[in-house]
Structure 1
Amino acid sequence: MMHLRYTILLVSILLFTSCKTDYANLPTYTGTRQLQAVIEVPAGNSKQVKYDRGTQEFVSVKSAGREQKVEFLPYPGNYGFIPSTEIDKNGDSLPILVMSERAEAGTVMEVVALGIMQLETNGEIKPVVIAVPARPSERTIDATTLATFSRKYPAAQTILKEWFVNSSQTDDTKFVAWRNERFADKEILRWMKL
């Protein structure tokens, strides 16, 4: 009888630990219509991490067998993606930067989109959603609209713009425009997988 209990416990533990979350296909919005973000790179990190849809794991981005690092200032916020979105034929999700305390890779956060920063990289327009946590107690930036963010934190807005333009040594990136939260909401809906 004790052997049977031990076997059941062992099988249960193995099944539980072998289950992986499919972060890419989590709902874009919670049941209460709150936008979700999946964090890949914690704030303050230089090492680039990506979610691998095939293995359902967070892995280091490599180039020529070496881990890629941002050879600039570390990430100014928690960088990741909005689940169940797809912005290109490669299957890439809509990127998001959440301005808050550091959150580890694999953290799923409820967020409020302040807007979108549009960048041009190698001739293509690339949107990046800029957001804050939905819970006011988790915010380091007291803003829920782009207008408030621009008015109260103009230096932070400039820092984000400069970081994204200068953080890649290989891509030719230019700043295009800031777009407000209404534009961000439309873009998120546009890129949602149906």
Structure 2
Amino acid sequence: MKTLLTYLSLVFLLLFSACKTSKDLSQLPVKTKRGNYRAVIEIPAGTNKKIEYNKDKKKFVVDQRDGKDRIINFLPYPGNYGFIPSTFSNPKLGGDGDAADVLVLGESLKTGSIIEIIPIAVLKLIDEKELDYKIIAIPAELKDQIMDAQNYQGFYSNYPEVIKILESWFTYYDKSQVLEIEGWGDETEAILEIEKWSSGL
């Protein structure tokens, strides 16, 4: 009888925990306890599916266009694409109404990965008169870094070709959009961009 009660209690506990809603990743703190910024990865580097985090459903879904999965008909994503949690680019201030975008340069990470990052630059894009800035970052963990660039100066000096690749990729990856490149900002501007959109939350 005792064993049966223990078993039933365990089953009830498992069922109860399965019914609980998962944590909303969009509301994670902007920074970690170590003081690094945090990124939630939606689209792994080297893939073409346009995956987005649905904060209402608390899950990752493939974006839809005309009722079909949105597949980027271009070269795959050149880095791990996602967002900075607890940010909101307010349309009243020229933002696009989404969380701050981030591209993490490193080896491919799974959808749903949460990673500590170091912002090293910001690519300033204009999409139909809305600011569509992309934070460019590297993993904070030294073992996960693949580039010798801790800031914009190192990035610009050591990888000018990567800068050209990113400009071209973001300009041409979506034929339905007309994006303009406004320029680049350094790591200080990247951090100010994150803080700008996190201050209102």
Mark yes or no: TM-score above 0.5: yes
Distance in structure 1 (CA, Å) of the matches to 2:151 and 2:141: 15
Runs of 4+ in 1 over 6 A off after TM superposition: none
Distance in structure 2 (CA, Å) of the matches to 1:106 and 1:58: 8
- Residue identity opposite 2:184 in structure 1: W
Query: Which residue among 36, 40, 43 is the counterpart of 2:45?
Result: 43
1:4 maps to 5
1:74 maps to 76
Matches within 5 A, 1:69-108: 69-89=71-91, 91-108=97-114
Distance in structure 1 (CA, Å) of the matches to 2:12 and 2:155: 51
| Aligned-residue offset at 1:16 | 3.6
| Aligned-residue offset at 1:144 | 1.1
Q: TM-score of the superposition, structure 2-length normalised? A: 0.92
Distance in structure 2 (CA, Å) of the matches to 1:98 and 1:10: 41
| Aligned-residue offset at 1:105 | 1.0
- 1:98-134 per-residue CA deviation (whole Å, 9 max, x = no partner) reads 0111111111000000010001112222111000000
Query: Which residue among 142, 163, 172 is the counterpart of 1:166?
Result: 172
Q: TM-score of the superposition, structure 1-length normalised? A: 0.95
| Aligned-residue offset at 1:142 | 1.7
Which secondary structure state, in structure 2, belongs to the residue aligned with residue 7 of structure 1?
helix
| Aligned-residue offset at 1:91 | 4.4
- Residue identity opposite 2:178 in structure 1: D
1:150 maps to 156
Q: Which runs of 5+ in 2 are unaligned?
A: none
| Aligned-residue offset at 1:15 | 3.6
Which secondary structure state, in structure 2, belongs to the residue aligned with residue 97 of structure 1?
strand
- Residue identity opposite 1:94 in structure 2: A
Distance in structure 1 (CA, Å) of the matches to 2:117 and 2:17: 28
Distance in structure 1 (CA, Å) of the matches to 2:148 and 2:10: 47
- Residue identity opposite 1:28 in structure 2: V
Which secondary structure state, in structure 2, belongs to the residue aligned with residue 39 of structure 1?
strand
Give the number of equivalent residue pairs: 194
Query: Which residue among 42, 56, 59 is the counterpart of 2:58?
Result: 56
Maintained 8 Å contact 2:119/2:190: yes
- 1:52-104 per-residue CA deviation (whole Å, 9 max, x = no partner) reads 01010001101122100111101001000000000034741000000111111
- Residue identity opposite 1:42 in structure 2: P
- Of 83-92 and 35-44, the range deviating more from structure 2: 83-92
1:23 maps to 25
| Aligned-residue offset at 1:188 | 0.9
Q: Which runs of 5+ in 1 are unaligned?
A: none
Distance in structure 2 (CA, Å) of the matches to 1:140 and 1:32: 21
Q: In structure 2, do the counterparts of structure 1 residues 12 and 142 end up closer, same or farther at CA, with 3 Å as the change threshold?
A: farther
Maintained 8 Å contact 2:38/2:117: yes
